[in-house]
Structure 1
Amino acid sequence: MQLSSVSPKLLLQLCISTIHCIFARFFSKVCSWTAGARRGSASAVSAAADSKPNRSEDQDATTPTSVNYHFTRKCNYKCGFCFHTAKTSFVLPLEEAKRGLKLLKDSGMEKINFSGGEPFLHEKGDFLGKMVQFCKQDLQLPSVSIVSNGSMIKEKWFQKYGDYLDILAISCDSFDEDTNQLIGRAQGKKSHLDNLYKIRTWCQQYKVAFKINSVINTFNIEEDMTEQIVELNPVRWKVFQCLLIDGENAGEAALREAERFVISDQQFQEFLDRHSGVSCLVPESNEKMRNSYLILDEYMRFLDCREGRKDPSKSILDVGVKEAICFSGFDEKMFFKRGGKYLWSKADMKLEW
């Protein structure tokens, strides 16, 4: 990115956010020292808890109604706040992935969402397409969806796999190209927004419900996106508060330094208030996000984010869904409270194509 091509206002934002990052990292260290002391004093309690018997066999296990499968971590974008970074290049063989998806279906899964990384990057989207087709055609899942940055999607993918896809969500954090460049949601000089509008047209043409995801951060917090969102008319506009995950976008082992992107709860609420007239807006604060998603990593392990990091369970391929999900940290009540279950099959949406 050439800073000379960026507006003075955005350069000022960059300087301010960098200063904010320095202070945030300092306080993060202080908090980690404090947390370490707490963990030490709580070790006896933890040991006592470990000696307690497991949940009774007759108690119902959590149902994986909706699962987010991040089957690849590789991505062609470098979004500064990314909370699932390219720490490995591993992707399960297709037949193993299908075996895991069937285990999830047999355990009650109704919706699968494929994500990354960038899911269209691996085998130019063909691997993803085969999983989408398997989930809809073989497993007969009510809803199959994808989250993508949109940069790798071609029309021929829709021609081959569009019938099997219910929802395509494209991540877009700003309707200003300079802001997208600063965030890292870009590849060279290609226009992220041109791709967004092109994919919107394809979704309409091939009867796939169109959705937009936006991460609200220090660079777009003042933006008013009402006009563009109304024009694009997605079925849902998911608006996330920028979230720190230790080991992913914060901390010494992280591949990103997202502290400079973090906004306060009040700032997030002000953004929501500014867009309160947008009927498709679905807000998700840090509190709602942290433990209300069932996330599978590239090894098909559930990720527990309750402690501000991603602690993996054993793989469902090794121990089954019922045992692995006990270590997911998933809060089923919060999932339903945030509206995690909605009208997610395109057959039921009654959209005007």
Structure 2
Amino acid sequence: MPLSPLVASLKMLLHLCVSALYSLGNALSKLIWIKGARDGGTSPAQWVDRNGQQAMTPTSVNYHFTRKCNYKCGFCFHTAKTSFVLPLDEAKRGLKLLKESGMEKINFSGGEPFIHDKGDFLGQLVQFCKQDLQLPSVSIVSNGSLIKEKWFQKYGVYLDILAVSCDSFDEATNQLIGRTQGRKSHIEGLFKIRTWCQQYRVAFKINSVINTFNVDEDMTESIAELGPVRWKVFQCLLIDGENAGESALREAERFVVSDQQFQEFLSRHSGVSCLVPESNEKMRNSYLILDEYMRFLDCREGRKDPSKSILDVGVKEAIRFSGFDENMFLMRGGKYLWSKADMKLEW
């Protein structure tokens, strides 16, 4: 056989082999995607889509449905640029889309989420997620100042975790930070809410942002007295356009602590078993954050770049622009026993 026909035959054979391998790979990726879907989100195979591309699952989502707040914490990185809040039915539609895409945990935050609960907006969302969507975990992060016992009486049964933000156990320090309103004692309110959580069977958690005003404080005894299931300790983080930069409503640079200062704070509290530390490195890309329009926020470049809303393009398309790092999410302990039914707490 002459050389040129031989080369042509080899090229044709190679082309057929490549086509066959491509078809086989495409078929396998579809089977893997189907298996992941049938497994209800428990299989790692769900992270591969029909085209063999990595597809992210919104296992744990933080929904900042409002930017309004009655506190003025100087380091806040979700400032009140708008008072927009989705209509209740639209918020429920988005939450249902997230559940259908694999969400297991929803965390309602702000702003201050209880600032909009005069019409039971937050309570209805909590009940919907637990009762209708049957999510394993429903949680709230609040400053605690607006929570009433009657809310627990009505909605406590549907809530797994309530996290209350407390940056200091010294009232004067809270005043300097802005973690206060008028003459009300933030610390007294914290203890009162802890009691309600025990009474109405809600897991109690504390969040603290470590900054220049509290970095030298020893909170060991107070945390032990309160006994939270988790004490999340954050390093103060700058986000351009939110709490830093020319267009920011706050200037948080004066609150920032160095990595060494943050580590010294952690070392001082190393004996606190419920402590969960989160440095800037761990925090920046390891959260799936939805804003008030249900857009994922990408913080990789030190700012919050929004995707399109999941209400307009769906979860699968929007999440591609979230900047979410699943490995860092797992590394920081983002997946834990987050249903109060599994915590085996002594009420």
Shorter-chain TM-score: what band?
0.7 to 0.9
2:332 corresponds in structure 1 to: 338
CA contact (8 A) 2:285 2:325 kept: yes
Match of 2:244 among 250, 255, 258: 250
Q: How many residue pairs end up in the alignment?
A: 299
How far apart are residue 57 of structure 1 and its match? Answer: 2.6
1:214 corresponds in structure 2 to: 208
1:189 corresponds in structure 2 to: 183
- Matching residue's letter, 1:144: V
Secondary structure, in 3 states, of the residue corresponding to 1:121?
helix
Secondary structure, in 3 states, of the residue corresponding to 1:159?
helix
Residues of 2 paired with 1:60 and 1:347: CA distance?
32
How far apart are residue 125 of structure 1 and its match? Answer: 6.8
Question: What aligned pairs does 1:11-90 form with structure 2 within 5 A after superposition?
Answer: 57-90=51-84
Match of 2:105 among 88, 103, 111: 111
1:45 corresponds in structure 2 to: none
1:329 corresponds in structure 2 to: 323
2:165 corresponds in structure 1 to: 171
How far apart are residue 126 of structure 1 and its match? Answer: 1.3
Residues of 2 paired with 1:269 and 1:314: CA distance?
37
How far apart are residue 60 of structure 1 and its match? Answer: 3.9
Which structure 1 residue ranges, 4+ long, deviate > 3 Å from structure 2? none
Secondary structure, in 3 states, of the residue corresponding to 2:113?
coil
Distance 1:125 1:169, change over 3 A: farther
Q: State whether structure 2 residue 311 is matched by structure 1 residue 317.
A: yes
- Matching residue's letter, 2:121: F
Residues of 2 paired with 1:99 and 1:334: CA distance?
29
How far apart are residue 289 of structure 1 and its match? Answer: 0.3
Question: What aligned pairs does 1:288-307 form with structure 2 within 5 A after superposition?
Answer: 288-307=282-301
1:261 corresponds in structure 2 to: 255
CA contact (8 A) 2:117 2:123 kept: no
Q: State whether structure 2 residue 126 is matched by structure 1 residue 149.
A: no
* Offset from partner CA, 1:323-344 (integer Å, 9 cap, x none): 0000000001110011000000
Residues of 2 paired with 1:124 and 1:219: CA distance?
33
- Matching residue's letter, 1:318: D
1:31 corresponds in structure 2 to: none
Distance 1:125 1:118, change over 3 A: farther
CA contact (8 A) 1:71 1:115 kept: yes
- Matching residue's letter, 2:279: S
Q: RMSD of aligned C-alpha atoms?
A: 0.9
CA contact (8 A) 1:209 1:346 kept: yes
Residues of 2 paired with 1:313 and 1:152: CA distance?
31
Secondary structure, in 3 states, of the residue corresponding to 2:321?
coil
How far apart are residue 56 of structure 1 and its match? Answer: 7.2
1:204 corresponds in structure 2 to: 198
Secondary structure, in 3 states, of the residue corresponding to 1:270?
helix
Residues of 1 paired with 2:153 and 2:204: CA distance?
16
CA contact (8 A) 1:66 1:112 kept: yes
Match of 1:237 among 231, 252, 257: 231
1:127 corresponds in structure 2 to: 121
Secondary structure, in 3 states, of the residue corresponding to 2:68?
coil
Distance 1:246 1:73, change over 3 A: same
1:3 corresponds in structure 2 to: none
Gaps of 5+ in 2: 1-48
CA contact (8 A) 1:119 1:125 kept: no
Residues of 2 paired with 1:197 and 1:112: CA distance?
25
2:94 corresponds in structure 1 to: 100
- Matching residue's letter, 1:90: F
CA contact (8 A) 1:303 1:313 kept: yes
Residues of 2 paired with 1:244 and 1:60: CA distance?
30
Identity, % of aligned positions: 88
- Matching residue's letter, 1:234: P
Gaps of 5+ in 1: 1-54
Q: Once structures 1 and 2 are overlaid, which stretch shifts more, 57-66 or 182-191?
A: 57-66
* Offset from partner CA, 1:110-144 (integer Å, 9 cap, x none): 00000000000013371000000000000000000
Secondary structure, in 3 states, of the residue corresponding to 1:82?
coil
1:43 corresponds in structure 2 to: none
Residues of 1 paired with 2:272 and 2:126: CA distance?
30
- TM-score norm. by structure 1 comes to 0.84
Secondary structure, in 3 states, of the residue corresponding to 1:117?
coil
Secondary structure, in 3 states, of the residue corresponding to 1:151?
coil
- TM-score norm. by structure 2 comes to 0.85
Residues of 1 paired with 2:98 and 2:336: CA distance?
19
Residues of 1 paired with 2:52 and 2:262: CA distance?
42
CA contact (8 A) 2:294 2:309 kept: yes
CA contact (8 A) 1:302 1:312 kept: yes
